């Protein structure tokens, strides 16, 4: 027994010595095209551009869902959000989920979360706050935030933190990293920025970079008013000026973090990752090489920037078109740290071969599904978590129902699965082909088949010319949905 324990400790020590420190960053509503390196005509992202030029640039990186809370659930768990009832913004995780925080904690890392959470309340007592999900410390918000945000530290009462939000999150993360260094412990840091989600604001020096936009885009668009917290209409050029100022400020904050890693001698042995949580929001989608924007199941809704730097392992800059998603993060980190995968269905895969240039295509299909959560409106489903524990505390500008805070929900799924449970926009990508399915008002299905290799903008529907491929993909998608619905019923938690 003693020999077995010594062997386990030896293996753990070996894994930690080989594994990197890890920083996972994510922008809020930052779409694929809103970077300099992807050719955006206006937005300035010199730091992300440098990461793209020096590390692994993933040009086919997807959020697991076209909206925020579900993508964040996939990021944490390696599973599609519908497996845990995180159907849409404001729907929480379930307490039984095993997160990347749990995995990294067991691997001996000091774990911290900074910024937007949005998969449940961050307050103490919430069964799905960052602490419950394996993070040792957190400075977080229930939802999104702008300048001078109110944040909760380790579940305590909200405090106002003065300053540009991306900058202050990075400052807090650096302090956490320094503490971990002093304690000679590896660190795992998740930074989920509040930018560039609307309503928008920016520092004068960042706004000045985009002073020419208001005269170019004069049509009115809808968004939240910073003054009232309600919806308003403003000229698009003014909105773009503020949005791009937020992206540039976030980019600069990432640069501050990279500089700290370099000056502290940490850069070589730190895996630094960045992505967005869904496509560009509709009011700002002016440069659209892909179809759609945030909220839709097409490429414009799920393709996001994807970048990895890790000089000790990724020694040569490269660009890949291998499909990857936010669900791949947990399996990849588990592999890097020698941790076992959770014993339940996962939708992500281990990307370590991609880091080494040994993966040229994804062997497994990728699935997308925006569950039809509207069907619950007016029903009396049993809450999965007591409503009092789901009440948020950190205020934000955008009001909902007259409130400046956000509450969360999650329902217990009835054991009996019906056809209605399969509804909602959904898609499958397998190889070059993507099948998209929508329900129509007449009860029929709208099916679209695209060859993403020759038609990345999803303009040409091949459903009539290649029905055999469409049927094959539809059957695969339905089988996967069955697995998801089994998880949703709670079957994964009974083992």
pLDDT tens digits, one per residue of 55-95: 999 999 999 999 999 999 999 999 999 999 999 999 999 99
Single pTM value for the model? 0.95
**What 3-state DSSP class applies to 14?**
helix
Whether the pLDDT of residue 6 is over 70: the answer is no
pLDDT digits (tens, 9 = 90+) for 183-204: 999 999 999 999 999 999 999 9
**Band of residue 14 on the pLDDT scale cut at 50, 70, 90:** very low
Beta strand 324-325 with 110-116 is unpaired
Percentage, residues of the chain above pLDDT 90: 92
Are 81 and 90 contacting, i.e. CB atoms less than 8 angstroms apart?
no
Are 280 and 30 contacting, i.e. CB atoms less than 8 angstroms apart?
yes
Cis-peptide into 199, omega within 30 deg = yes
Section 410-415 average pLDDT? 88
Which domains can be identified in the chain, with CATH numbers? Answer: 16-361 (3.40.720.10), 369-493 (3.30.1120.10)
Average pLDDT, the chain: 95
**What 3-state DSSP class applies to 260?**
helix
Between CA 273 and CA 395 the distance in angstroms is: 28
What pLDDT, on the 0 to 100 scale, is given for residue 495? 60
Cβ neighbours for 123, distance < 8 A, ≥ 6 positions apart: 129, 152, 155, 392, 393
Between CA 120 and CA 9 the distance in angstroms is: 35
pLDDT digits (tens, 9 = 90+) for 254-307: 999 999 999 999 999 999 999 999 999 999 999 989 999 999 999 999 999 999
Between CA 301 and CA 278 the distance in angstroms is: 6
Task: Give the closest residue to 429 by CA, choosing from 367, 491, 378, 375.
Answer: 367
Are 244 and 209 contacting, i.e. CB atoms less than 8 angstroms apart?
yes
What pLDDT, on the 0 to 100 scale, is given for residue 246? 98
DSSP state letters, 303-314: B--EEEE-TTT-
Between CA 353 and CA 422 the distance in angstroms is: 34
DSSP state letters, 120-149: S--STT-TTSTTTTT-SEEEEESS---SS-
Please report, for residues 90, 173, 387, the alpha-carbon distance to residue 258 in angstroms, rounded to integers and kept in the order given: 32, 12, 41
What pLDDT, on the 0 to 100 scale, is given for residue 350? 98
pLDDT digits (tens, 9 = 90+) for 463-480: 999 999 999 999 999 999
Whether the pLDDT of residue 5 is over 70: the answer is no
Between CA 334 and CA 325 the distance in angstroms is: 16
pLDDT digits (tens, 9 = 90+) for 423-454: 999 999 999 999 999 999 888 999 999 999 99
Between CA 414 and CA 132 the distance in angstroms is: 26
What pLDDT, on the 0 to 100 scale, is given for residue 317? 98
Between CA 376 and CA 483 the distance in angstroms is: 21
pLDDT digits (tens, 9 = 90+) for 130-178: 999 999 999 999 999 999 999 999 999 999 999 999 999 999 999 999 9
Task: Give the closest residue to 322 by CA, choosing from 280, 366, 275, 271.
Answer: 366
């Amino acid at each position: 027994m003693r020999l077995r324990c010594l062997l386990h400790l030896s293996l753990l020590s070996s894994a930690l010595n080989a594994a990197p420190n890890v920083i996972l960053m994510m922008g809020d509503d930052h779409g694929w095209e809103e970077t300099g390196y992807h050719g955006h005509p206006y937005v300035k992202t010199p730091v992300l551009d440098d990461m793209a030029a020096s590390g692994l640039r993933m040009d086919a990186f997807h959020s697991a869902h076209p909206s925020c809370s579900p993508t964040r659930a996939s990021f944490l768990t390696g599973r599609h959000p519908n497996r845990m009832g995180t159907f849409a913004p404001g729907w929480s995780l379930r307490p039984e989920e095993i997160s990347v925080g749990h995995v990294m904690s067991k691997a001996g890392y000091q774990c911290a979360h900074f910024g937007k959470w949005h998969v449940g309340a961050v307050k103490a007592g919430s069964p799905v706050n960052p602490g419950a999900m394996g993070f040792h410390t957190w400075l977080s918000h229930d939802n999104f935030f702008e300048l001078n945000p109110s944040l909760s530290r380790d579940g305590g009462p909200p405090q106002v933190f003065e300053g540009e939000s991306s900058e202050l999150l990075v400052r807090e993360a650096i302090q956490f990293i320094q503490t971990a260094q002093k304690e000679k412990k590896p660190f795992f840091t998740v930074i989920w920025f509040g930018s560039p989600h609307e309503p928008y604001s920016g520092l004068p020096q960042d706004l000045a970079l985009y002073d020419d936009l208001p005269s170019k885009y004069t049509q009115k668009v809808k968004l939240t008013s910073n003054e009232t917290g309600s919806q308003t209409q403003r000229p698009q050029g003014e909105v773009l000026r503020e949005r791009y100022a937020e992206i540039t400020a976030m980019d600069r904050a990432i640069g501050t973090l990279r500089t700290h890693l370099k000056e502290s001698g940490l850069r070589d042995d730190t895996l630094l990752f960045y992505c967005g949580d869904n496509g560009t929001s509709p009011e700002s989608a002016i440069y659209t090489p892909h179809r759609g924007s945030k909220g839709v199941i097409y490429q414009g809704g799920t393709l996001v920037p994807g970048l990895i730097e890790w000089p000790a392992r990724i020694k040569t800059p490269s660009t890949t078109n291998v499909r990857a998603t936010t669900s791949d993060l947990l399996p990849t980190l588990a592999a890097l740290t020698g941790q076992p995968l959770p014993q339940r269905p996962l939708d992500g895969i281990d990307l370590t071969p991609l880091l080494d240039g040994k993966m040229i295509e994804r062997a497994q299909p990728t699935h997308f599904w925006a569950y039809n959560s509207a069907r619950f409106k007016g029903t009396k489903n049993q809450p999965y978590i007591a409503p009092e524990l789901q009440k948020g505390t950190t205020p934000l500008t955008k009001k909902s129902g007259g409130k400046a805070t956000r509450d969360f929900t999650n329902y217990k799924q009835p054991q009996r699965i019906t056809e209605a449970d399969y509804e909602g926009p959904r898609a499958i990508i397998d190889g070059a082909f993507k099948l998209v399915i929508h329900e129509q008002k007449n009860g029929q299905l709208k099916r679209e088949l695209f060859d993403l290799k020759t038609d990345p903008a999803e303009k040409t529907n091949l459903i009539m010319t290649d029905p055999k491929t469409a049927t094959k993909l539809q059957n695969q998608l339905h089988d996967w949905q069955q697995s998801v619905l089994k998880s949703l019923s709670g079957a994964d938690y009974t083992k």
